[in-house]
Amino acid sequence: MSDDYRSIARERMKGFCRVCPVCDGRACSGEVPGMGGLTTGASFRNNVSALANVTLNMTVLHDVKSPDTSTKVLGMELKVPALAAPIGGVSFNMTKEDVSEDAYIDAVLGGCAQAGSVGCTGDGVPPFIIDAATKALKTHKGIPFIKPWEGKELYEKLDRVMDCNPLAVGMDVDAAGLVTLRKMGRPVTPMSTAELRQVIAYVHKKGQKFIVKGIMTPQDAEKSVAAGADGIVVSNHGGRILDHCPGTAVVLPRIAAAVRGRLAVFVDGGVRTGVDVLKMLALGADAVLIGRPVCVAAIGGLTEGVSAYFTTITQQLSQAMLLTGCSSIDNISPEIVYCA
């Protein structure tokens, strides 16, 4: 993403995000709603520091000349194993008037499509969030994530997004306890495995795949398998629901070891560059989701900003693969991670 987009985003996101040179959660601690992490912001910072603490074994004595960054996950053909995370609520999380929810989510999905990636859409209390998502999903392929609402609202929203023929359907079960929902008088609670199994069966009956977002332990990953999920997202909701969680890069290896091969393993949290993407893949992920940097790209540059950001991610990943001897995504392994 060009510096011009970042400068524009900095002006448009005043009071919500400072568009820091390093997006590490230090300047926005406790700013929820907004772009920060909950309370002390430790979970947000832990995501970034955990990933930064992973170092790589550089090697240039090999036959790799032109790494292939493309992959296939849950039937999706991707030029790069990086997707836009499901984030909505422009008016209370990002900017007041400069970019509408419709323009924002259309930019996310459209920009991802231009770069050979996939965008996800979010959900929330105000109807304009799901309205914008369904409009964009009718134009662009994407993955909608619905919150674990109680009662008929959950199935009504699932039906709305499935009518758009998405690539898959997700649920951010990690929305349980989300401050923004509580402030709007609509808190959501954790789900039992039996409840999750019922939802997944409903989605599968409609011919859609299902992704569970908010997994931070091998035990919850196993529960997702038992409930019939097709994929999980290792995530602590960007550090926005529980303070003092470990970074996702710390918990990912054990989770991936427990369930990889039985469902797709996605991860988010602190991913900023193509090198970060490589690290997460080496730790066991099939693909990553990127949140806040995509918001900045969309607010500052709309479709072109998002496309440019993912193009940069692809170039950075290719270079990092070249310097670690990885010819393809399938060749990335834990062996490229440095261990003292």
Residue closest to 88 by CA, chosen among 295, 265, 338: 295
CB-based contacts of 262: which residues, under 8 Å, 6+ apart?
225
Instruction: Read off the pLDDT of residues 28-42 as tens digits, 9 standing for 90 and up.
Output: 999 988 999 999 999
Mean pLDDT of the 294-316 span: 97
Tell me the two tokens of residue 303: 């479709």
For residue 171, with 0-12 CB atoms within 10 Å meaning exposed, 13-18 middle and 19 or more buried, which class applies?
buried
Q: Would you mind telling me the total number of residues written for the chain in this entry?
A: 340
Q: Name the residue among 245, 187, 188 with its Cα closest to residue 216.
A: 245
When divided into structural domains, the chain yields a total of: 1
Question: Coil, strand, or helix at residue 76?
Answer: strand
Give domain status of residue 289, yes or no. Answer: yes
Instruction: Name the 3-class secondary structure at 276.
Output: helix
> Residue 254 belongs to what domain range?
3-17+30-326
Residue 278 in any domain: the answer is: yes
Instruction: Write out pLDDT tens, residues 56-91.
Output: 999 999 999 999 999 999 999 999 999 999 999 998
With respect to residue 332, please indicate whether it lies within any of the assigned structural domains. no
Question: Which residue, among 28, 81, 91, has the nearest Cα to 271 in the 3D structure?
Answer: 81
Regarding pTM above 0.85, the answer is yes
Q: pLDDT digits over 180-228, tens only?
A: 787 777 868 889 999 999 999 999 999 999 999 999 999 999 999 999 9
Q: Is the pLDDT of residue 1 over 50?
A: no
**Any idea what the CATH number is for the domain that residue 195 is in?**
3.20.20.70
In a domain, 9, yes or no: yes
In a domain, 336, yes or no: no
191/2 Cα distance (integer angstroms): 42
Q: Is residue 172 part of a domain?
A: yes
Q: Rounded distance, CA 37 to CA 291, Å?
A: 13
Residue 22 within any structural domain of the chain: no
Q: In one letter, which amino acid is 206?
A: K
State the pLDDT at residue 3: 61
pLDDT tens-digit readout, 114-170 = 999 999 999 999 999 999 999 999 999 999 999 999 889 999 999 999 999 999 999
Please give the mean pLDDT across all residues of the chain: 95
Confidence of residue 239 (pLDDT cuts 50, 70, 90): very high
Residue 333 lies in a domain: no
Given a contact cutoff of 8 angstroms between Cβ atoms, the answer to whether 34 and 179 are in contact is: no
